[in-house]
Amino acid sequence: MVSGLLMTLAAGREPPPVEHPADSLISRAQDEVSRRMEENLNATALARLMGVSREYLTRKFREQIAITPHEYIVRQKMLHACHLLKETTLSSKEVSTRLGYREPAHFTRTFKRVLQMTPRQFRSVGSIPQVL
């Protein structure tokens, strides 16, 4: 009787969800971006690290999270910049260097494009966004 009950329960169990390879790819790519936040990482280098073409990675990013790898990298860097600007006394130039920008002016332009204010303005009046 007990073995019959166990067999019935085992037969009724749902199989464990199978993770789609593209989901795993995106998850791994996101982890890689987090690990390499302070490098000059771009979509081409990320695709190379993932062992796929840039086009394939871009297509999978768009399918899974509706943005390109480049947009994801920029958003994550800007979110990290917000934390550094609010929680440290690092200058904007030091933040840009820490995030892998070769030119502080490029960092400032990117920050302003994404957050609609300069790093200096953000430090004085901005709040860290939940999601960019």
| pLDDT score of 5 | 42
pTM of the complete model: 0.78
Distance CA 87, CA 74 (A): 20
| pLDDT score of 21 | 55
State the pLDDT confidence band at 49, using cuts at 50, 70 and 90.
very high
Instruction: Determine contact, residues 126/79, Cβ cutoff 8 Å.
Output: no
Distance CA 22, CA 86 (A): 35
Question: Is the per-residue pLDDT at 68 higher than 90?
Answer: yes
| pLDDT score of 9 | 46
What tens digit of pLDDT does each residue of 73-105 get?
A: 999 999 999 999 999 999 999 999 999 999 999
